[in-house]
Structure 1
Amino acid sequence: MCTAFVFGLSPWKTFIRYWIPHRKLYRRNRSVSWLEFRIFWVPRILASVSPQVYVWGYSHPAFIEHFCSRHSVPFTRIEDGFIRSVGLGATKTPPLSLCFDSPVLYYDPAAPSGLERILLTYDFSADPKLLCRARAGMDLLIGTRLSKYNISRDVDIQRIYGPKDDRKRILVIGQVEDDMSILKGCERRMDNNDLVRIAAQENPDAHIIYKPHPEVLHGTRPAKSRPEAVKSIAQVLDQDISLADAFETIDHVYTMTSLSGFEALIRGIKVTCLGMPFYAGWGLTDDRQECPRRSVKRTVEEVFAAAYILYPKYFHPKLNKMITFEEALKLLHSMKRTATG
């Protein structure tokens, strides 16, 4: 039996024991000091049969990764998948999907992630059934109006945006500005207000709409920039509206690294990326940052198949068993209907 050692998870993430089955599992919540790791954990790891080390994202001391590298101990990072829950992670809602990857996660372009390797090497032309699943999955995602978190209620978007005139309408997607996807995925340091200013500068006659991140609007994560500072050049949304509504009548989306940019792509909306998210660099987006490794062209269906079907794992939180992407989407739709009445 393999032995799993998990470091850096918040105490409430007890669900992880179900995602790493058939292993003896040890957990050390939050941070661990070098002295504790050296005295207590190193001997236990080295004495274990087939040890494996797991960490949450990049929230771990560097010495853990260095130790694993020196002793050839498999080292795996864990992160939420792209179909997560009806609720924010900050509200301690368990995820329906997780990604397990090494040496980097999908939002870190410093090295090839597992998702990038799939997109570089998978022969999609030899797997028409997978592409059919991808197209059906995209249609289902759009048709059910589902997204990553699914906590927003539907609104009359025309009342908020106003009637669509001849001007180009641009949606700027705000993010949590100290999020690891920005810290890892953007060569140039910027905040949400910088992104709004770039969109306005490049499109002087457009109707610019700025959508702050849901966790900022709900107060579960702090804002690093003040939305009020860009109200003179953009319409700032002060309520958390669903992405399905937010994308209505939008011609162009600006983002740093947000998954929302890919959700715009599957709807046929042009996307400009200031950073290097997993869906950039494949010929689908207007990219302001380069990743020379991404040397092939991919279709939206192929990127969707890789990111939503091949790359993550899905898990039923009540039945405690692995499920398919389609089953997860059906479950999420049911959970959203229950939550919204």
Structure 2
Amino acid sequence: MLPWRDMVGEWVFESAHVQIQRHFDERYFHRWLKPFIKRVNPVIYIWGYKAPDYFIEYVRAQGVDIFFLEDGFIRSGPEDDSSAPPLSIVMDSQAPYFDTTRPNDLTDLIANFDFEQDNYDEVLAQEILDYYVSHRVSKYNHQSYVDVTPIYGPKNKERILVLGQVPHDDSLKYGGGKDFTLLDVVNKAIKENPDAQIIVKPHPMTLGDHSIIRTLTELDCLILTQSIHLVDALETIDHVYTITSLGGFEALLRGKKVTVLGRPFYKNLCKTEAIRHQYFLLCYLYSQQDYCVTLA
């Protein structure tokens, strides 16, 4: 567990709390946790789905208040690395936002928010989105600027960017993407855009898979093996393909056409002419920056 996660209690709890390491077995659960939950009726916070399924199912069945925590949609600042505390977190009372097999607070917010209400300032929302885009803000903001012009070469055809993900990631498992691979996404992009330049940005954790890299090379794809900020990678891109990556949502906010093979929370935005600043506002309201920014 990352050291900063010991501070989570300081961000979200207003009273005494007990922090339990997620690596416990069923014996510990039945002997200690079940009696504790029945006696105390606590509020329970879980990072993502990093708890056994039987524990989550039991807690839900008991009607105990539960919140699922995740990195917020702005994770790191320019001086941060992966070990730094997040600049924002998400707290969802139903399920992590990447789980689209069941309702969650984000999908409820998107479905039910009344944009006609008096306190919604459309001009301000658009100004904030413009600032976000013009200042190159992303989920991760610690990477140095990279000019992709010499990497991509002259643009004389449509450009497609394929965003890879970590296989077996929870967002794939719970977002309708577990049956798809990076090669599936690439092949779909090639089939639907036979005359385009196909650029593939694999997840850094998968670059060691030489068989995938070799196959992508044989498919005549440009593979981004160097560390490139997503905002830089999106420069001059016309269309983005991915499974469930949050990078697809960031591409939408920047006016790119996006195709997803899974069912991430933003899938409907890919199909419609929805007003981007509305989705932007809701997703960043959902991302609770108040809790962490003073500690970062």
Contact 2:100 2:174 in 1 (8 A): yes
Farther off after superposition, 250-259 or 67-76: 67-76
Which residue in the other structure is 1:248 paired with? 235
Q: TM-score, normalised by structure 2?
A: 0.90
> Structure 1 residue 319 and structure 2 residue 294: aligned?
yes
CA shift in 2, pair 1:301/1:317, >3 Å: closer
Farther off after superposition, 9-18 or 37-46: 9-18
Deviation at 1:64, TM superposition (A): 1.5
**Equivalent of 1:300, from 276, 291, 294?**
276
- Alignment partners' CA distance in 2, 1:151 and 1:312: 19
Which residue in the other structure is 1:268 paired with? 255
> Structure 1 residue 23 and structure 2 residue 12: aligned?
no
Which residue in the other structure is 1:68 paired with? 59
- Alignment partners' CA distance in 2, 1:277 and 1:317: 25
Deviation at 1:110, TM superposition (A): 0.8
SS at 1:84 equivalent: coil
Deviation at 1:16, TM superposition (A): 0.5
- Alignment partners' CA distance in 1, 2:243 and 2:260: 5
SS at 1:43 equivalent: helix
**Equivalent of 2:32, from 40, 61, 71?**
40
Deviation at 1:161, TM superposition (A): 0.4
Question: What residue identity is the alignment partner of 2:54?
Answer: F
Question: What residue identity is the alignment partner of 1:314?
Answer: Q
**Identical pairs, percent:** 37
- Alignment partners' CA distance in 1, 2:211 and 2:264: 21
Deviation at 1:116, TM superposition (A): 0.5
CA shift in 2, pair 1:227/1:90, >3 Å: farther
Which residue in the other structure is 1:103 paired with? 94
CA shift in 2, pair 1:97/1:318, >3 Å: closer
Which residue in the other structure is 2:73 paired with? 82
Higher relative contact order (CA 8 A, sep 6+): 2
Q: TM-score, normalised by structure 1?
A: 0.79
CA shift in 2, pair 1:188/1:57, >3 Å: closer
Contact 1:153 1:242 in 2 (8 A): yes
Contact 2:172 2:178 in 1 (8 A): no
**Equivalent of 2:159, from 165, 169, 188?**
169
Question: What residue identity is the alignment partner of 1:59?
Answer: K
Question: What residue identity is the alignment partner of 1:279?
Answer: Y
Which residue in the other structure is 2:189 paired with? 199
Structure 2: stretches of 5+ with no match in the other structure: none
CA shift in 2, pair 1:188/1:18, >3 Å: closer
Deviation at 1:209, TM superposition (A): 0.3
Deviation at 1:69, TM superposition (A): 3.0
Structure with greater strand share of residues: 1
